[in-house]
Each structure stands twice: as C-alpha cells, then as structure tokens.
Amino acid sequence: MGILGPSGSGKSTFLRTLAGILPSSSLTSTGDVKLKQSTETRHLELADVAFLAQEDSFFSMLTVQEILDDEEQFQFKSSFRKTAEENRRKVINALGLNKLLNRRVGDRRVGGTTNQVILADEPTTGLDASQAQKVVRKIADIAKTKGITAILALHAPRGSVYDLLDDVFLLAPNGLPIFIGPASSACAYFERLGHLCPPNSNIAEFLIDLVSVDTEDHEQASADQARILELAAAFRKEEARRQAKEKRESGEEGAEACVTKHRTSRRRLSFLKRVAVLIKRSFRQNFRDTAVNGLRLGACGILSFIFSAIFGENLKGEPTAKSVADRTALLSYAVINMAMMSLMKTLDLFGKEKPVVMRERMRGHYGGTEYLIAKVIAEVPLDASFSIAFATLLKSSTNLNVPTTRLAATLGMTTICTDLLGFAVGSISSTSEAALAVGTPLMIIYMVLGIINPAGATKNGNDSLPWFLKLLKYASPIRWAIESLCCAEFRGLKLSRKGRPSMGALALVNSGDQVLEALGLGDKEWIGGITKLAKLGGIELLISIGAQYIFQ
C-alpha cells in the first residue's frame, strides 16, 4: 500500500502511529491496529513491525556484516540462526550487497528482518526516478515473496512507481482521509464524484493535486479547501457503507471471535547475553574510532601545556603563600575542563544513538537498563583513561603537591560522574538539541556553585543560599572534585613566608592546613570528595534507568 498526500498531510505521523513509535508530545493516539493473517486476525505487536524511517539513523564504526550479525542475535535463538542466515544471504544477494559486507557504514545502518509488516517513510527520498522505481519494486517483491504487508509513504511518485502499488491511501492536509482502496480503482472512484483524471497523466500527481491547497491565491485556496471537505465527507459515507456491508456478511460475533489475544513478545536472548552483545558493539565503536580518540588525547596534551604555561611559573620552587591562588585555580580549571569535555561528549553520543536505540527497543531487542549498563561499561573506562592521561601530563609539567595517583583518581571520578550526568540528562530529553539545552546551563550552574571563592570560608558556605541552590550545590560534581583536590594539594603542605599576599584570607597562612581552614575545608579530606562523587554517580545512574521507562 502506498500513502499519498501533499506535505503536511500527516503521512509520517500516520506511519509512526501504526508502528507505535509516535514521539512523545502533545499528540495522543487511540484505537487498535490488527494484523490479518491466513488463519487469524490478531493485534499488531511492536515486534511485528520493521520501520524504515525517512531520516538516516545508524550506529557508527560498524560494518554491514556486524550490524546484521547483531540484529540476528537479538532476533533469533541459536536454533533458528541457520535458517535466518540463509534468508539473510538471499536478501543480500537480491540487493547486491555482497561486496559491501565488510565496509564500515559510518553513521548508516542496514537491516533485514522477518517481520510481518514493513513501514517505510518516503524510502525513495533523494533517489532519481529509475532508482526510486527499483527500490519500490524490491520492497514489493520481498512483501509478496514472504507474504507480508508493506506500507510506504511516497512523495510525488512517478507513474511507474504508482503501478507497483496494490492499494492507495490518500491523505489531505491535517490528516483528512480521502480515499483508501485498490490503486487501479482510484480514478474510477473520483470520476464518480465528478473529478475526471486526464488521459495519459500521472495518476499519483492527479490524486495529490486533488487534495492540495494553493496557499498563494486566496480564492483558489478557499475553493481547494471546499473541494477537500467535500471529498472527505464522501469518503466517510463510503466507509460507513463498506463497514456495514462487511458486518452483515461476516457477523459481528464472528468478527470478534477471530481476533486473538495480544501475544507476549519474547526476547530471544537472556538479560546477560543482551548486555554482552551491546557491550561488544560499544567496544567496537570506541576502539575503531581512532581519529576521535587521537584528537581527544591530543587535546589533553595541549590543555595540560596551556595550563602549565599560565599557572606553572608561580608553582616553581618551594611552595609559597603566593602560589596558593594559582594552585587552587589550576586544580579548579582542570576539574572544569574534564567535566565539560565528558558531559558534551556523552550528550552528543546519546543524541546520535537515540533514534537507533528507540527503534531497536521498539522491536524488543533490549530494554533501557541493558543499554545503559553496556554504555557505562564501555564508555566510562575509556573516558576515565583520558582523564588519567591529562592528570599525568599536568602533574609532570607543573609543581603541584597532590600525588599523581590522587590527581588521576579525582579527575577520573569527575569524568565518570559527569558521564553519568550526561546519561541522565540524555535519558530525560527527547532530542540531542534538548539534551544540550538542558545539560550546558546545568553544568554552568554546577561550575558557579562548585568553585571555591578565595575570599574565605564565609563566602564558601551555604547559609545564605536558597534551598534549591543548596540542593544544586550538593549535586555539583565540580564542587566535590575541587574540594577533594584542594585537600590532597594543601593537607600537610609547608608554605614559605616569601611572597605572602598583603590582604585577603590567605594573607596570614603559614601552611596548607591553614589554607584549608581559611577556605572552609579544615574538616574535609580527599577521600570524602571521592565518596561524594561516587554517590552522585550512583544517583545519576538510577535516574538514567528510571527515565528510560518514564520518558521513552
């Protein structure tokens, strides 16, 4: 079946409603979708549907072969794999993909499944007329060979494409149904209503013109809208007659009796096996993306060089009171740098993968929990390794007192915590743009509330803050990381009296312990900040898992 209509008629919305993947918004859908097979009529399950979206959304850095292997593992038990592989080879041969199996597809994903319904949203977009005809013919051949239903939303198809359609569903602007029935009888139907299809014309163009509105001419637009309303009213009458006839022929009781109960969708793999497949896929993506990994490592080296050039001069020689401000600033900037880099990377990753994940979850391959567990296992160690590299380079190029192990551990925990923050924000956001719109200002708030004010302990307290800012300050990973590093840097540090500031909270300090007292950190320890970061990360992970079920 082909769905025809002008832009804005709701073709994509209708397909997504059928597939059960209508984006969360103010739109709601009601009703039942039933699948009529040879021996039964039953409710359509999400696992029955193969949805081909108009937009390309594919996992990166994987080959065509690997993508198909993962798809096969998710869909079939081991006892059915041999049959599935044979079917896959037939489809690959039919599509001429043999030479492309080992090619990485970048951000493109290919699939071949054994679903009962194929829903394709404008599959011919961007193709010339000849290629568009081949695509539609191939879908028609697969549908007829496998005995499944294929519904395609088409934009201005040529006549040869229209001839391949068995049925047509014509939509007018605002989703008004105008005609549904055999493609070969569309012209005769509208001829009975007084709209003659010109001879030797493209029937698809005639149908679309019939339900289009000329917005540039006010009088013509009014006439077009009146015609569309008239056609919609005629369709409703025709459908009422058809349904009444079907009810008389089959009987209401018989029709209801043949509808089976919802099938319980079965997942083919166990929980642990699903997680294992997802982890394997994520590791492939991470370790093959050598260009990005190289750039990230290079950025760590460049940033450590810049920080040491700006702050390193005052850190040379024996520690002095004059260097306290530079030490605090250097540690603060190091934390902020790693936090922002990991958050932006995670939000971007979530935005890119979310459409694919939604499609695979729709088909019952895995749930949100499995996806998050796999991502945490695959992404967090890699991101933490870049933090450790940055900490090692920064320590070697400056005269910081904090041990390398504690600097690396703190920055690594900061990265892990902000990674999990990115997962949480990405889980509650509908798009990558929305995630960035929420995540960026949130991190700025965390930064403002988390930095240490060198004016002293009274300026670093919570007493004057409103309750909601106190809560945000407690949730700031930047705060706990900076406090932890300051404790590791200044605890037990002896300060020379040379170059002491003439005023401010640091004017009278003689040791690192006095610095911590002046900053309001006298009772804090390095491990305390690490513990807070770990707790925050756990809370963020729980929010991420919960959001997968609430917001998806």
pLDDT per position as a tens digit, 389-416: 999 999 999 989 999 999 999 999 999 9
Judgement on whether residues 217 and 342 belong to the same structural domain of the protein: no
Pair 116, 35: CB distance under 8 Å: yes
Q: Note whether 238 and 314 are same-domain residues.
A: no
Q: Looking at residues 441-462, what average pLDDT do you find? A: 78
Q: Considering only CA atoms, which of 9, 1, 8 is closest in space to residue 231?
A: 9
* Residue 299 and residue 244 share a domain: no
Q: How many domains does the chain have?
A: 2
278 shares a domain with 219: no
- Domain span at residue 540? 271-550
Q: What is the pLDDT of residue 457?
A: 52
Q: Are residues 404 and 495 in the same domain?
A: yes
Poorest-pLDDT segment among 26-40, 191-205, 337-351, 367-381: 26-40
Tell me how far apart the alpha carbons of residues 520 and 456 are, in angstroms, rounded to a whole number: 7
Dump the DSSP string for 438-496. Answer: HHHHHHHHHHHHHSPPTT-GGGS-STTS-HHHHHHHHT-HHHHHHHHHHHHHHTT-B-B
Same domain, 402 and 368: yes
Name, in order, each residue with C-beta under 8 angstroms of 397's C-beta and a sequence gap of 6 or more: 304, 305, 308, 312
Cβ neighbours around 349 below 10 Å, total: 20
* Opening angle at CA 545, ends 539 and 549, nearest 5: 135
More confident residue, 409 or 81: 409
In a domain, 87, yes or no: no
Assigned domain for 85 exists: no
CATH of the domain at 250: 3.40.50
Instruction: Flag whether the pTM goes above 0.85.
Output: no
Please indicate, yes or no, whether residues 256 and 280 belong to a single structural domain of this protein: no
Our measurement of the distance from residue 105's CA atom to the centroid of its chain's CA atoms, rounded to an integer in Å, reads: 18
Domain boundary (260, 290, 305) is at 260
The answer to whether residues 169 and 282 belong to one domain is no
What is the average pLDDT across 450-459?
68
32 or 227, which is more confident? 227
Same domain, 451 and 514: yes
Task: Assess if residue 246 is contained within a domain.
Answer: yes
Residues 511 and 392 in one domain: yes
Whether residue 73 lies inside any domain: the answer is no
251 — pLDDT class (breaks 50, 70, 90) = low
| Residue 368, in any domain of the structure | yes
Selected residue with higher pLDDT from 164 and 83:
164
Question: Considering 260, 293, 319, which residue would you say is the last residue of a domain?
Answer: 260
Do both 430 and 285 map to the same domain? yes
**Which one has a higher pLDDT value, 96 or 544?**
544
pLDDT at 348: 86
What does residue 494 show for φ and ψ, rounded to 5 degrees?
Answer: -90, 130
| Residues 183 and 275 reside in one and the same domain | no
Q: Is residue 165 part of a domain?
A: yes
Residue 96 in any domain: the answer is no
